[in-house]
Amino acid sequence: MEIPPILRYGCAMQTVSAALMPIPGHIDPVPVPRGVQPRPDGRVDLIGLTKDQLREALLSGGMELKQAKLRSKQIWHWLYNRGATRFADMTDIAKAQHPWLEERFVIGRPEVVEAQVSNDGTRKWLLRSADGQDYEMVFIPDADRGTLCVSSQVGCTLNCRFCHTGTMRLVRNLTAGEIVGQVMLARDSLGEWPSQPEGRMLTNIVMMGMGEPLYNFDAVRDALKLVMDGDGLALSKRRITLSTSGVVPMMARAGAEIGVNLAVSLHAVTKDVRDELVPLNKKYGIEELLQACADYPGANNARRITFEYVMLKDKNDSDADAHELVRLLRHYDLPAKVNLIPFNPWPGADYECSTPERIRRFSDIVFEGGISAPVRTPRGRDIDAACGQLKTAAEKKSRAQLDREAEEKFAALG
Ligand code: SAH
Ligand code: SF4
């Protein structure tokens, strides 16, 4: 089922007041606004700012240094530990200062366009940014945990053949505020403020929603740092997993600067098949990818790398594929586990899911090779919330169109 076309209402287009700059290097061609961006009404959204940026924001509003140091700490705690959305609720900040803050700052949340609940309890939210971009997040409750699947981009540039998100053109990267904003919104909706170490429903985060997180590195890193900060949302890095389709040049930085668990969308063991399924393989091949996994800091037997493997009928699911998978993971001496994902269908997909018997056999072979290979139970299929089914009705724009628009905005700034 496609997500129904969405009525667009009253969203002011964000005027970009700072330069739109391409991210340096060849790995991310997407122009993004850099630095702290005021909204059209001139106010700055505090969500997504680091502690230092928050202090800077207060200073640039004219607050003197000592005050700014104190207030930024207090406000930061209210935002990320207590989930406050109004300055008026910040009881340790003098009432007289509230209007000053309200004039200059807002505490934003993504707008919820639609919320759906699957018959297995999975929830999906369709969210909208201030400039009218739609993206999705999914919450998957289990007996012993609750996992939030977070998006990093609106759409994806990578066009994996079996993924519905891949049929969207990339509209844009999400900002750090929009990424951490998904976690804040989930906490709001689950009633989990203030942050507490025990008894939470939201226990785990996976960067497995729309988009390729390593093509939006800075924003993903900044957002996850906020999520992991012990004074705030306080989720342990061991409970966060970043999934990549194999952006090899960014993997070492992900390990060093973020340090969360790594999942790699492998999906095939031969060049031909992986080139077809994950076109990025033409740029960064299987050997290079597995070597980057072997070099990933912190990977050991207690903290294994997850290899995701989507089960596609007669494409990547033979006994020989399973044996080759074991051989490759052993060859690189990888502390690995394999997640076998039954293919989630979507309209117009070129593939079918392998039969349950085939998946079982494949799993057995990998197990016999000494590597754990559980079969993932699809969740939320009835509301198109399962892996690879996320796709919003966002306006599709070509790369050239986006570049033209970025240039026009840039030129308009003089
Ligand atoms: N872009 C990142 C993270 C998002 S996708 C990545 O590709 O790793 C999360 C997982 O769902 C990936 O392993 C992806 O390959 C898988 N997936 C995509 N489409 C799917 C589908 N139709 N059925 C099952 N899994 C799918
Ligand atoms: Fe993008 Fe991941 Fe889908 Fe590939 S599988 S198109 S990288 S979201």
210 CA closest ligand 1 atom index: 4
Cα 137 to averaged position of ligand 1 atoms, centre (Å)? 14
Index of the ligand 1 atom closest to the CA of residue 244: 8
- Nearest atom, ligand 2, residue 388 CA: 3
210 in ligand 1 pocket by Cβ < 6 Å? no
Q: Determine the topology of domain 109-412 in CATH.
A: TIM Barrel (3.20.20)
CA distances from 397 to 24, 101, 170, 393 (A): 22, 37, 8, 12
Beta carbon of 156 within 6 Å of any ligand 2 atom: yes
Tokens (6 digits) for 96: 């007289």
Measured from the CA of 164, which atom of ligand 2 is nearest? 3
Angstrom distance (rounded) from CA 134 to CA 126 = 7
* Whether the Cβ atoms of residue 218 and residue 177 lie closer than 8 Å to each other: no
> Annotated catalytic, 160?
no
DSSP state of 264: E
Among candidate residues 149, 160, 353, 387, the one labeled active-site is 387
With CA atoms as reference, report the closest residue to 78 among 184, 199, 197. 184
Predicted pLDDT of residue 4: 30
Please choose, from the candidates 366, 355, 359, 360, the residue with its C-alpha nearest in 3D space to the C-alpha of residue 325. Answer: 366
Region at 182 (left for phi over 0; alpha for psi -120 to 50; beta for the rest): alpha
Which entry of 136, 212, 276, 308 is annotated as an active-site residue? Answer: 136
Which amino acid residue places its CA nearest to atom 20 of ligand 1? 388
Angle between the N-to-C axes of helices 319-331 and 356-368, in degrees from 0 to 180, rounded to the nearest 10: 30
From the number of C-beta atoms within 10 Å of its C-beta (0-12, 13-18, 19+), residue 184 rates as buried
AA letter at 129: S
Nearest CA to ligand 2 atom 8: 211
160 touches ligand 2 (CB under 6 Å): yes
Q: Tell me the whole-structure pTM to 2 decimals.
A: 0.87
37 Cβ below 6 A of ligand 1: no
Pocket test for ligand 1, best of 340, 341, 359, 384 (most atoms within 8 A of CB): 341
With a 6 A CB cut-off, is 310 part of the ligand 1 pocket?
Answer: yes
Ligand found nearest the CA of 279: 2
**pLDDT tens per residue, range 353-402:** 999 999 999 999 999 999 999 999 888 878 887 776 777 654 444 445 54
Does ligand 1 come within 6 angstroms of the Cβ of 341? yes
Class of domain 48-106: mainly alpha
Ligand 1 site, residue 171, Cβ cutoff 6 A? no
Centroid of ligand 1 to alpha carbon of 331 (angstroms): 25
pLDDT tens string for the chain (414 positions)?
333 322 222 222 222 233 344 443 334 445 555 566 787 788 999 999 999 999 999 999 999 999 999 999 999 999 999 999 999 999 999 999 999 999 999 999 999 999 999 999 999 999 998 888 889 999 999 999 999 999 999 988 888 999 988 777 777 899 999 999 999 999 999 999 998 878 899 999 999 999 999 999 999 999 999 999 999 999 999 999 999 999 999 999 999 999 999 999 999 999 999 999 999 999 999 999 999 999 998 777 778 999 999 999 999 999 999 999 999 999 999 999 999 999 998 888 899 999 999 999 999 999 999 999 999 988 887 888 777 677 765 444 444 554 555 555 445 543
Closest CA to 298 of 241, 339, 248, 341: 241
Question: Rounded to whole angstroms, what are the CA distances from 347 to 162, 167, 343, 388?
Answer: 11, 11, 13, 12
With tokens 């016999």, the residue in question is: 368
Model pLDDT, residue 18: 34
State the first-to-last Cα distance of the chain, in angstroms, to the nearest integer: 45
**pLDDT 10s digits, 212-244:** 999 999 999 999 999 999 999 999 999 999 999
Distance from chain centroid for Cα 176? 10
Q: How far is the CA of 9 from the centre of ligand 1 (A)?
A: 31
pLDDT at 34: 53
Known catalytic membership, residue 136: yes
* Ligand 2 centroid from CA 114, angstroms: 23
Residue for token digits 């001139």? 42
Q: Can you give the residue ranges of every domain in the chain?
A: 48-106, 109-412
Peptide bond preceding 213: is omega within 30 degrees of 0, i.e. cis? no
CB 74 within 8 A of CB 93: yes
Q: Which atom of ligand 1 is nearest to the CA of 344?
A: 23
Please report the pLDDT score of residue 401 as a whole number: 54
Nearest to 103 by CA among 16, 184, 39: 39
Q: Do domains 48-106 and 109-412 have the same CATH topology?
A: no
Q: Give me the DSSP letters along 333-351.
A: T--EEEEEEEPPP-TT-S-
Q: Are strands 240-244 and 153-154 parallel, antiparallel or unpaired?
A: unpaired
DSSP 38: B
